[in-house]
C-alpha cells in the first residue's frame, strides 16, 4: 500500500479562487475587506508566516494593515495598539501572530480583539459557538483540514478519529469539528497511556504535537488517513538520513540548506501505511492561510450588509 497524497496547495487554491467573486462584491460596496496583522518582535518563523498571509491578501485584493511592535513592548502597550483595531471601520479581522514574547500575557491581549473581528476563531465567543456548532469564525488550521477531507471525498461520519495534541489552536477545535461531523473522537496528549495503541484505532489520525517524527509505524493502522499538522526543522544528519534515506530530493535539500522540514509523523511510515496523507510541507500549511482569508471575507460580508 502507498498512500494517496492529499494536496493542500491545490485545495487551498480552490478555496482562494472561490473567494475572489465574494471579494469583488464587497469592494463594489465601497471598500475592500481588511485584515490587521500584529507581529511582535523578530521571530523568524512568525515573520515567514505573516509574509505569506500578507502576500495572499495582496493577491486576492484584501487590504492588509500591519503593526510590528518591537519584542520589548509591554502587555499594556500592546493592548493600546490592538484595542483601536476593534472599532476601525476598515478592519474586518484582527490577527495577533503567536507566539508572543514570554513576558506578554497573550490571553489578556487577545481578549481585546472584538468577537466580530476574531478572524482566528480563538476568542471565547467563537469557541463557544464552535462547541454548540453554531456559525462563527473557526480556528484556521482545523477548519482547513475539514475542507481538505471534504473536498478529497474522505468520509468522516461513523469513522474513528484520533487527535494527538490538545492545544486550543489545533487539537481541541479539531476534535470538536470532527465530532460535529459524526466521527467518534479520541484526544491524546503527553499523559496518554499506550499512545501507539490508541492511535492504531484511528481511521483518521491527526498529529498536532510539535515533535518531529514522533508518530511512527507502530501508531498507524494500515489504511488510515493521516493528517500531519507538524512543521519541525531537523538539522541532525543522522536523523535526516533515517527519515529521508529513500528520498533523494529531501537529502539534496538538506545538503543545500543544512536542515529539512519534517512533520510530526515519520514520512516513510505515513506514505507506506496510510490510504491517504498530507505531505510536509505542502499539506496543511496552505490550507491554514486559505481559511484565514475565508474567515476575513465572511466577517467583511457581515460588516458590509
Q: Is 101 left (phi over 0), alpha (psi -120 to 50) or beta?
A: beta
| Pairing between β-strand 232-234 and β-strand 260-262 as defined by DSSP bridges | antiparallel
Contacts of 25 (CB under 8 A, 6+ apart): none
Phi, psi angle pair for 93, to nearest 5°: -135, 145
Q: Calculate the CA dihedral of residues 73, 79, 85, 87 and round it to 10 degrees.
A: -160
Q: Which residues of 57-90 are buried (b: 16+ CB within 10 A; e: fewer)?
A: beebebbbbebebeeebeeeebbebbeebbeeee
Active site residue 24: no
Active site residue 228: no
Before 160, cis peptide (omega within 30)?
no
Catalytic residue among 97, 172, 203, 264: 97
Contact in structure between 37 and 55 (CB atoms under 8 Å): no
Per DSSP, 219 falls in state G
Catalytic residue among 92, 118, 120, 264: 120
Active site residue 97: yes
Ranges of H-type helices in 4-83 = 8-27, 44-60, 75-82
Contact in structure between 198 and 188 (CB atoms under 8 Å): yes
Catalytic residue among 9, 13, 24, 53: 53
Contact in structure between 92 and 293 (CB atoms under 8 Å): no
Closest CA to 245 of 229, 272, 267: 267
Contact in structure between 34 and 94 (CB atoms under 8 Å): no
Which sequence positions are flagged as catalytic? 53, 97, 120
Amino acid at each position: 500500500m502507498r498512500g494517496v497524497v492529499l494536496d493542500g496547495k491545490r485545495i487551498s487554491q480552490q478555496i482562494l479562487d472561490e473567494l475572489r467573486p465574494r471579494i469583488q462584491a464587497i469592494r463594489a460596496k465601497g471598500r475592500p475587506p481588511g485584515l490587521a496583522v500584529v507581529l511582535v518582535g523578530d521571530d523568524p518563523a512568525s515573520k515567514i508566516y505573516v509574509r505569506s498571509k500578507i502576500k495572499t491578501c495582496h493577491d486576492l485584493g484584501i487590504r492588509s494593515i500591519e503593526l510590528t511592535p518591537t519584542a520589548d513592548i509591554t502587555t499594556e502597550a500592546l493592548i493600546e495598539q490592538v484595542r483601536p483595531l476593534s472599532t476601525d471601520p476598515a478592519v474586518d479581522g484582527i490577527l495577533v501572530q503567536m507566539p508572543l514574547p514570554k513576558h506578554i500575557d497573550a490571553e489578556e491581549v487577545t481578549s481585546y480583539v472584538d468577537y466580530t473581528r476574531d478572524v482566528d476563531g480563538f476568542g471565547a465567543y467563537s469557541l463557544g459557538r464552535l462547541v454548540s456548532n453554531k456559525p462563527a469564525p473557526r480556528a484556521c488550521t482545523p477548519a482547513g483540514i475539514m475542507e481538505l477531507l471534504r473536498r478529497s471525498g474522505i468520509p468522516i461520519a461513523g469513522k474513528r478519529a484520533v487527535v494527538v495534541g490538545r492545544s486550543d489552536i489545533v487539537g481541541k477545535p479539531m476534535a470538536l469539528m470532527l465530532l460535529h461531523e459524526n466521527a467518534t473522537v479520541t484526544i491524546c496528549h503527553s499523559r496518554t497511556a499506550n499512545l501507539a495503541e490508541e492511535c492504531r484505532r484511528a481511521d483518521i489520525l491527526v498529529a498536532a504535537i510539535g515533535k518531529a517524527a514522533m508518530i511512527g509505524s507502530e501508531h498507524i493502522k494500515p489504511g488510515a488517513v493521516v493528517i500531519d499538522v507538524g512543521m519541525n526543522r531537523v538539522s541532525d544528519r543522522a536523523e535526516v538520513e533515517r527519515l529521508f534515506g529513500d528520498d533523494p530530493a529531501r537529502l539534496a535539500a538538506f545538503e543545500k540548506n543544512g536542515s529539512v522540514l519534517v512533520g510530526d509523523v515519520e514520512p516513510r511510515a505515513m506514505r507506506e501505511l496510510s490510504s491517504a496523507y498530507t505531505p510536509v510541507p505542502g499539506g496543511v500549511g496552505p490550507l491554514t492561510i486559505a481559511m484565514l482569508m475565508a474567515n476575513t471575507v465572511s466577517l467583511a460580508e457581515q460588516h458590509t450588509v
